[in-house]
Structure formats: structure tokens, C-alpha cells
Amino acid sequence: MPHLHDDEIFGKVLTGLDVTGMENFTAWVHGDPSAERFGLPPVGLPMGAGYAAGNRLVDTYLAATGRTAAQALHAESSEIIATTLRRG
């Protein structure tokens, strides 16, 4: 994933964590190129940025807690995000 360790992109995705609605999914998860293809407004993210940020959130959570992905399957998203943000 080309954006996995990009702090600027990760920070931008974090600003959109409270954005809701399926009409916003494409821009925030797939990135501006996909959003523009479907006539949706861009948000300033490259292709796949949301996936990379999600991967980073989960990887950081798993490292911080020592849990496996299987053990963390039912963890609340708020717990994952809070743990990640505490780790920096």
C-alpha cells in the first residue's frame, strides 16, 4: 500500500472519521480519482487512502494490544481509533 506510512494522508483521513453517509464513502475510502469518476466532490485524498489509513489504524491497535486480528474481530471502532491515537 503506497500510502500506508504517509502521515499527511493519514491525518487527512482522520479528519473525516465523523463523516457519514454512503454518498461520502467513495471519496473518503477510494480517494478523489474514484469520486470524480462518479461525479462526487473530491476531498483531497489519493487513490486508496482510506484503505491505507484503516490498515494503519488496525495494525497499530493490534501492536498496542498484543491481540491477533481474530481476537480483535469484535473490537469497537472507537476503541481501535482511541488506542491508535494514543500511540501517535
Q: Tell me the Cα Rg of the chain.
A: 14
Helix H or strand E encompassing 59: helix 49-65
pLDDT at 1: 63
Instruction: Count Cβ neighbours within 10 Å for each residue of 38-74 and write b for 16 or more, e otherwise.
Output: eebeebebeebbbbbbeebbeebbbeeeeeeeeeeee
3-state SS class at 44: coil
Q: How far is CA 32 from CA 16, 27, 52, 88, in A?
A: 14, 5, 14, 26
Give the model confidence (pLDDT) of 34-78 as tens digits: 999 999 999 999 999 999 999 999 999 999 999 999 999 999 999
